[in-house]
Amino acid sequence: MFRQATTRLLSRSTIAAPTPAAFRARPFSDVPASQAADEIFSEAWKKAAPNLDPPKTPPVFVQPRPLTPSSVPSKFVVKFLLPYDDSELSPKEVDMVIIPALIGEMRVLPGHVTTFAEMKLGVLSLHEQNEVTQYFVCGGFAMIHPFSVADIVTTEAVPLDEIDSSLVQKGLAESTQKLSLASTELEKVEAQIGVDLYNALNSALIA
């Protein structure tokens, strides 16, 4: 009996097992295959509950993966994501972006590998031919995606040429004084944050 059951299982698995060619025909990024499965689910739902709309399934929210370019793009697209800033910065196409990563300065060119990097307080530079646009960023994260696209996620990204050096010096002096007079741990931490911020701003302006 066990031998017969094993034979039946093997015969079923042999029939149902997809061939290598089938795997090649339906890669994991094949959106039409997911849509077909979603349609089968919708039809089954309508038969089981004809008075209720079928729920949305993950394939509905999945966007088709862009095609892999045959050559390295000539430009790099930088997108700023500022969750606490109403003034959104438009995406920019550049030749190179220099990111103030926590592990060191990162120079990113078109065709860069996928990377996730934490940023520190510092200057992010966008290079477009002979023009360089610099932004002071308050930390955050840089996500380098395939196809030469980067998301810069930070609380603030201020053009460096809009920062008043006299206000930076004033803020640094006030934060240093608060740190020397702080009596509680909270006061010390808040004052130290101000000192670190203004020191980073001062270094960015000097450089």
| Same domain for 182 and 111 | no
Which of 38, 65, 92 terminates a domain? The answer is 65
Instruction: For the beta carbon of residue 36, count every other beta carbon within 10 angstroms.
Output: 13
Distance CA 169, CA 182 (A): 20
Instruction: Report CA torsion sign: 157, 162, 167, 169.
Output: positive
Q: What is the CATH number of the domain that holds 115?
A: 2.60.15.10
pLDDT value at position 140?
Answer: 93
CB distance 190 to 116 below 8 Å: no
Condensed to tens digits (0 to 9), the pLDDT of residues 36-82 reads 667 787 888 888 888 888 777 666 666 666 666 667 788 889 999 88
Backbone angles phi, psi at 167, to 5 degrees: -70, -35
Domain that holds residue 189: 165-206
Instruction: Quickly list DSSP for 179-195.
Output: HHH--SHHHHHHHHHHH
Among the three residues 37, 65, 93, which one is the final residue of a domain in this structure? 65
pLDDT at position 202: 92
For residues 127 and 171, membership in a common domain is answered with no
pLDDT at 108: 92
8 Cβ neighbours under 8 A, 6+ residues apart:
none
**Domains identified in the chain, total number:** 3
Measuring CA to CA, which residue among 33, 23, 86 is closest to residue 59? 33
Query: Which pTM does this prediction carry?
Result: 0.64
Name the DSSP letter for residue 95.
S
Residue 156 carries which side chain, given as an amino acid letter?
A: E
Residue 186 shares a structural domain with residue 143: no
18 within a domain of the structure (yes/no): yes
Residues 157 and 80 in one domain: yes
Tens digit of pLDDT for each residue in 106-163? 999 998 888 999 999 999 999 998 899 999 999 999 999 888 889 999 988 999 999 9
Task: Assess whether 188 and 126 both reside in one domain.
Answer: no
The SS3 assignment for 172 reads: helix
Q: What is the pLDDT of residue 109?
A: 92
Is 71 inside a domain boundary?
no
Backbone phi, then psi, for 14, in 5-degree steps?
-70, -40
Claim to verify: residue 1 and residue 34 sit in the same structural domain: yes
| 147 located within any domain | yes
Same domain, 142 and 201: no
